Structure 1
């Protein structure tokens, strides 16, 4: 049963995912989308970078986070896309061999139209050492279970 706008509770926190980061995937993603030397040249990265080895592109970290969000929640939610993200931050480099998980906290519900509302949620990605490696606030559009023309004007009870 999909989760609709009405089913989302401000303050709810869910944790999911277990994403194993492989060296091959780090190199493949970076070679295609972010071919900076510290992402694609393990030898040079080991000897010349401040990271002591190759690291995942931040965009790859965002993509892995998105995969865990879809697998853990969004695939079963009545979402119809997003309006963007706020406060996107790369906090700690992600390395081959890391295992990632995410924590998603609902911050706000904003009624927009009779057929949908906006959910603002902070997503934080952690590695196996519980270090926060990535964070963002997503602005996701959720369908309403029963679109009501009056609901868009009378949602004060849903906002906490």
Structure 2
């Protein structure tokens, strides 16, 4: 587990690869984002932007979250306080994605000396290094001295 003392500006974390299967893309979409360009291959081909089936951006985000938890193991969890997300390119069936995280800011709390807000940029990339998701996220990270109540 990583504590605030273990994290420095410029630190980078890289996840394992995760394959986005057609079946999983459709299952997620049917459950959470039932739009034809996520669920129907034939209709998705005629879509003016996607021109083929694409994973929901929220599906890509959910997998990104999973990969974050594996490659960036912060003590007490990734407690988010803010995030901005962009999806510059669609995630396609059989894309093998991974995340790359870079720490860009560490802002100590003014009122609670046992923690800070850590800001990091994430790129979720496919096997061709195309950026599928780009986010800036702020999380609470505790020092080793923190004692949970």
- Give yes or no for TM over 0.5: yes
Alignment of 1:1-160 (within 5 A): 2-74=1-73, 77-80=74-77, 81-86=79-84, 88-112=85-109, 113-147=112-146
Which runs of at least 4 in structure 1 moved beyond 6 Å after TM superposition?
Answer: none
SS at match of 1:60: helix
Structure 2 gap ranges (5+): none
Q: Deviations over 1:63-109 (max 9, x none)?
A: 111111111123xx2144111203x1001100011000111000000
Structure 1 gap ranges (5+): 148-160
Q: Structure 2 length normalisation: TM-score?
A: 0.90
- Higher radius of gyration, 1 or 2: 1
Q: Structure 1 length normalisation: TM-score?
A: 0.84
Tell me how many residue pairs correspond in the alignment. Answer: 144
Distance 1:79 1:121 in 2: 17
Cα RMSD over matched residues? 1.6
SS at match of 1:17: coil
